[in-house]
Structure 1
Amino acid sequence: MFTIVAATIFSAAFLLAVGTIAWMFALYHQKMAAALLFEPIPQTPPVYHIRITRNRVRQPARGATLSAPALPGSALAA
C-alpha cells in the first residue's frame, strides 16, 4: 500500500514539474527565441564635443576707480 501511495505522489510531482516546464516554455517561447537571435549593436566610444564660452571682463575706463584704494605697505604687514 505504501508503494502505491509513494508512486502516486512521485508521479503527480513529476507530471506537475513537466507541466510547469511546458507551460513556461509555451508562455515565454517568443522571448527566448528573440534572446537567442539577438545580435548586439556594436558600440563605438562616445565622442563629446565641448565648447566653453565665457564673457570677457571689460577693462575699466581710465579715469574711473571702481576698486578700493591701494593700502600702504605697513597696513599689509600688520
Structure 2
Amino acid sequence: MFTIIAATIFLAAFLLAAGTIVGMFALYRDKMIAALLFEPIPQEAPVYRLRISRRRATPDARTPARPLPASIFAA
C-alpha cells in the first residue's frame, strides 16, 4: 500500500514539474527566440585622447647644488 501511495506522489510531482517546464516554454517561446536571434548594434570603440602635462622642476638659483661626499662612493 505504501508503494502505491509513494509512486502516486512521485508521479504527480513529476507531472507537475514537466507541466511547469512545458508551460514556461509555451509562454516564453517568442522571447527565447528573439533573444537567440538578437544581434547587437555594433558601436564604435571609444577613442581616448590623453594629454599629460607636468610642470618641469626648475632649479632654484639661490641655492647651488652641493656635491656628494666622497665617502658615499667608498663602499
TM-score (norm 1): 0.57
Superposed, which structure 2 residues align to 1:57-76 within 5 Å?
none
| Partner AA of 2:26 in structure 1 | A
Q: Partners in 2 of 1:8 and 1:16 — Cα distance?
A: 12
Measure, in 2, the Cα distance between the counterparts of 1:7 and 1:18: 16
For these two proteins, the number of residue pairs brought into alignment is: 48
What amino acid is the match of 1:13? Answer: A
User: Which stretches in structure 2 are left out of the alignment for 5+ residues?
Assistant: 48-75
Query: Which residue of structure 1 lines up, in the alignment, with residue 31 of structure 2?
Result: 31
Query: CA separation in 1, counterparts of 2:21 and 2:33?
Result: 16
TM-score by length of 2: 0.59
Residue 39 of structure 2 aligns to a residue in which SS?
coil
Query: Unaligned regions of 5+ residues in structure 1, if any?
Result: 48-78
Say which structure, 1 or 2, has more relative contact order (CA 8 Å, 6+ apart). 1
